[in-house]
Structure formats: C-alpha cells, structure tokens
Copies of this chain bind each other. A is one copy, B any other.
Amino acid sequence: MSIATIGWLGTGRMGTAIVNRLLDAERPVMVWNRTPAKTAPLAVRGAEVADSITTLAACDVVYVMVSGPADLEEVVLGEGGLLAGETRPEILVDCSTVSEEASARIRAAADEVGVGFLAAPVCGNPEVIADGQGSFIVSGPLKVFEQVRSDMELVAKTVVHVGEEEQARLVKLAHNLYLGMMLQSLVEVVTLAEKAGTSREAFLEFFNGSALTSPWIRRRSPELAAANWHLTFTNELLRKDFDLGLAAARKLEVPMPATSATYQLIQSAIGNGLRNEDFLSLYEQQARSAGLPEQSDRL
C-alpha cells in the first residue's frame, strides 16, 4: 500500500508544526481538531479540514496527537471514534504521550478490527520540529512501520523503530531519565568548579566546547550561568517521568543505581520548596548543599 491520504487528529502547537512539515513536502493532509479554529492556519496552507472524525477515518493513515490517555481512548474507541465506524484507516499512529498500558489497550482494539497500530511519541518542541530536528520513536509491527517511514522522515531527522510492541513508550521515558541524570551530573561538577573559583559562565564555556556537552546543555547554559531560568518542565513533572521509568525498571528487574540517586534528589528538591520550579533548580539545591552564597537573582 502506498499512502495516498494522511489524516491528522489534534492540531495543537506540536501537531501544527508537524503538519506544516508535511505540507512543506507537498503531501496531502486532512486535519481535524476538537476546537475547529485551530485548524485554520493549516487550511490556509492547503490542508483539507475534516468535518468529523468519521470523515477523517477514511484516510489511509491517521496520526493522533492528543493530551493524554483519556482523550486518546475517546477519539479512537469512543462513539464516533476512529475505530468505531464502518470506515477505518489502514494504519493508526499515536504520537501522544501515554503509558504502556494505555498504548496496549489501543493496540488490542486496533488489532481486533485489522488496523495496523504504531506507538510513535515525538521528541522535540515545536521550534525543533519546524527546523526538522525532531525525532519519531516508533514501535509496532515492522511492516506497518515501513509504510509510514518515508512520511515520518519528511518531518523529523531521526525516525527509529524500537520494537514490535509498546517499547516506544519506555524509550521516551528512558530519554527523560537520562535528562534528569545529565542535569544532576552537570550541577555537581558546576558547583565544584564554582566553589574552587571558576565562574559558571567560564566553566560552561569550556564544557560546551568539549565532547561531553549536548545540544540541550548548550541551549540552557546561559540560563544556568545567570542562575535565572524560565519554566520549561517542573521538578514535579520530572519526578512523574522518574516514577514511571523506575516502575518500568522494577517490572523488568533492571537496577538503576544512578537513576534512583537522582530521583531521591528530585524528591528532596520538592520537599525543600522547589516543586514548581523549572528542573534547572536542581542547581539551586546543589548550591545550597555546597554552602554557596544565595544569589539574589536566582529564583
């Protein structure tokens, strides 16, 4: 099967950025959104707007990007949902962030009616997607993946098939576990250098010129140097990903000594009043514990 028509359900900021990349590549896309106004900018650029999910379901493939498992189950399995009617897509791709369990329930329902299902969480924010620097992490039957791969590659630099089942969900969690550890590792060495008399700015300039840095660290270095950050992701949300990731590790019986050391530090930060701060505030906690003087502009 070649994909003649692409459906997209959920045109929030991320969905819009992805559809724009498909339109840039002159692919035919039909969109639907609960709040119809949000589809207007895409319609201007040539996307067809479906009047209902039922109409959208006639596309060869439908991608869904909604805000959580409840919404996902409703638009897929609910009355008038993608799998509820006579007309169904050949392939259903879920790009939302949902648990392995929710993902497995959708897969079972899709299997039952002969629809190929892929779990395909996306890494990157809308700006990153617009630059073509995003990633698709995909799991589900390899044959199904092969059919949508070329479209995904129009959108994102990295498109990887990581397993035949729900593995994509865990891989995304693994990404976030690493993110927390990377930051904790960084703030330990930053405060060490700082207390020895090297400014954070100088240390980060060096670090960002080394083979150890990452694009994420580069991007946030100015904020860390200034001890003045804006909110992207709270300690409480980071803890949630650690909750899920460590629960998966437990189920799989994988010890995670460094991960759990970081997890406990995130929990301490929450207890010490940094719950709703951006997780760069792990620096704040570390600086206090190192006895560094409070910086007035830090919070």
Contact = CB atoms under 8 A, between A and B. Distances in A.
A84 interface: no
A265 B261 CA distance: 12
Contacts of A162: 193, 198-199, 202-203, 206
Nearest to A254: B290
A227 interface: no
A54 interface: no
Interface in A198-231: 198-199, 202-203, 205-216, 219
Q: Size band of the A side of the interface?
A: 35 or more
Contact of A255 (B181, B193, B214, B290): B290
A258 B190 CA distance: 13
B253 A270 contact: yes
Interface in A132-176: 133, 135, 137, 139, 157-158, 160-165, 167, 170-171, 174-175
Given A197-B164, A214-B214, A258-B262, A206 B268 contact: no
Given A167-B193, A177-B188, A185-B181, A253 B267 contact: yes
Interface of A: 123-124, 128, 133, 135, 137, 139, 157-158, 160-165, 167, 170-171, 174-175, 177-179, 181-182, 184-186, 188-189, 191-193, 195-199, 202-203, 205-216, 219, 243, 245, 248-250, 252-265, 267-268, 270-272, 286, 288-291
